[in-house]
Amino acid sequence: MADKPSFYITTPIYYVNAKPHLGTAYCTILCDVMARYKRACGYDVKFLTGLDEHGEKVQKAAEEHDMTPQQWCDSLAPDFHKIWETLEISNDDFIRTTEERQVKAVQYLWERMREAGYIYKGSYDGWYCVHEETYFTDTQVDKADEEHGTEGQHLCPDCQRPLQRVQEESWFFKLSEFQDRLLALYDEHPEFVMPDFRMNEVRTFVEGGLRDISVSRTSFDWGIPVPFDDGHVTYVWFDALLNYATAVGYGDPSMAEEYARRWPAQFHVVGKDIIRFHCVIWPAMLMALGEALPEHVFAHGFLMVRDEETGQTRKMSKSLGNAIAPQDVIDLLGVEGYRYYFMTDCVPGEDGGISYGRMEQVYNADLANSWGNLVSRTLNMSAKYFDGKTPELPAGWETLDNPLRSIADGLAERYGAAMDRVAYGVAKDEVMELVHAANHYIEDSAPWAIAKDEARADELVQVMANLLEAIRISAHLLTPFMPETSAEVLRRLSLEDEVETDDLLGICAWGGLKGGVPVTKGDALFPRLQSDDK
């Protein structure tokens, strides 16, 4: 392991009091696809997800349910483990901010911040939104009130819920001192914020001037205690952001080696609503601590529901009655169809307009009619013409020109370039080009006609080998999106030992097919959906 380069990727840690939903699943699958792809490229991947369990919101929810906050968190955490398992999430670690390792790391952070002189005690007087766990200034609130016409009621600029006025003694983090260093970071590392159009938003915000932020609370106690000041607990975001470092051993001498190897993270994947925390506050915290900065913060858009009649998209919400639960999608498309649809049909950086109609269309067109059909026709023919096996392959078969080989040449590299910039839809198009070409190749070469003519036996071998090889390569490249079906396809070709690879480029080189080995016809991978199935 140690000789492989490290690749560390994280999801946001989810607030424990909302059940996992399509949005949180979207972000988690997005990371999973990257983690699986990087593992296949030979990286030693650490993929972290987890739960954000402190803060006023959790404390209140627990009170409403007559539980202690810890009991409340413990009662909800299993839902996350369960859905991630169902969705084939391959995380290597799962952090909960109530764990001992996080408590220790946060307390270590406080000590380091104090030593470095980046915190001071003052008093906070301003607005707070419990739902967003975010502070707002009078100016921000006035502006939002004006925009939304709230008639004297002060509502959260982000979620429009009523705000609290908070007046309390508090520790402050000197964020205002980091403006220049943050702007220099954005100039020197434009790839720090991805996709690039999000960078403008971050930069404009920082150029507008930064205020010191309140990072401790005294009016409730569900948080990590400030080690040197009784009665103060850590502001939930000051705690939550640190989870990424905690999980690789920040502040833990027994994990010094791991920390040196893993930190900084390569990718923090987050929703567009929380980029300020990740692209402004978090790098400033790390600068204050003298720690290295993550390489990329990738911000994905929001999933919006598209109305099939009007074509308009709207935010998903229970009150609008358009909320879709992960299980509803799993019931319709299966887990792999689910992953494929969200990862290839929504552009990761932008808001995605989702609808059941579109899900069905993509599933039927790409998975049932193209990929599934190609596998089933080809494996059936192979079994039929070669006695339940793949053809015996003559020496040099892989050197002969054919339309599939010319697409497959350089395919893994083109696909990889798209995957590296999280352009999953583009990567999928590259693979689908091969799949579509293979389906056309079946029609054009008509193996069933060749099979009738003994004089054309060599040609039949070549045509079937080309098709099976196109399938083998496609299965590998589709693995990050649909790990189980790809593994199944490889097993059906007696290639089980190839399922886990750490040399994606090498394994996708044309010519890796095994000749004369059993093929399994198996059931349809993606049975076609009829509209009334949903």
Query: Which residues lie near ligand MSP (CB under 6 A)?
Result: 12-15, 18, 23-24, 26-27, 52, 240-241, 243, 270-271, 273-274, 302-303, 316
What is the C-alpha separation between 191 and 301, in angstroms, rounded? 18
On the 0-12 / 13-18 / 19+ scale of CB atoms within 10 A, 219 is middle
Question: Residue 101: CB partners within 8 Å, gap ≥ 6?
Answer: 95, 246, 247, 252
**Residue 338 or 415 having the CB closest to ligand MSP:** 338
* 175, 214 contact by CB (below 8 A): no
On the 0-12 / 13-18 / 19+ scale of CB atoms within 10 A, 318 is exposed
**Residue 316 or 487 having the CB closest to ligand MSP:** 316
Question: Residue 457: CB partners within 8 Å, gap ≥ 6?
Answer: none
Q: What is the CA 121 to chain-centroid distance, rounded?
A: 38
Residue 302's Cβ-side half-sphere holds a number of Cα atoms within 13 Å equal to 12
**Residue 23 or 416 having the CB closest to ligand MSP:** 23
Buried b (16+ CB within 10 A) or exposed e, 120-157: eeeebebbbbbbbbbbbeeebbeebbeeeeeeeebbbb
Structure tokens at 192: 């720090």
What is the C-alpha separation between 218 and 169, in angstroms, rounded? 7
Question: Least Å distance between CB 276 and ligand MSP?
Answer: 11
Query: What is the DSSP track for 194-242?
Result: ESHHHHHHHHHHHHT----EE-EE-S---SPBPTTSTT-EE-HHHHHHH
What is the C-alpha separation between 215 and 233, in angstroms, rounded? 9
**Residue 24 or 170 having the CB closest to ligand MSP:** 24
On the 0-12 / 13-18 / 19+ scale of CB atoms within 10 A, 187 is exposed
**Residue 24 or 439 having the CB closest to ligand MSP:** 24
What is the C-alpha separation between 30 and 343, in angstroms, rounded? 7
Question: Least Å distance between CB 317 and ligand MSP?
Answer: 9
Question: Least Å distance between CB 50 and ligand MSP?
Answer: 9
What is the C-alpha separation between 147 and 287, in angstroms, rounded? 35
**Residue 276 or 521 having the CB closest to ligand MSP:** 276
**Residue 229 or 273 having the CB closest to ligand MSP:** 273
Q: Which residue is nearest to ligand MSP (CB)?
A: 271
Neighbours of 328 (CB within 10 A): 14
Strand ranges (DSSP E) for 25-74? 44-52
**Residue 14 or 135 having the CB closest to ligand MSP:** 14
Question: Least Å distance between CB 84 and ligand MSP?
Answer: 14
**Residue 23 or 326 having the CB closest to ligand MSP:** 23
**Residue 104 or 436 having the CB closest to ligand MSP:** 104
Question: Least Å distance between CB 206 and ligand MSP?
Answer: 19
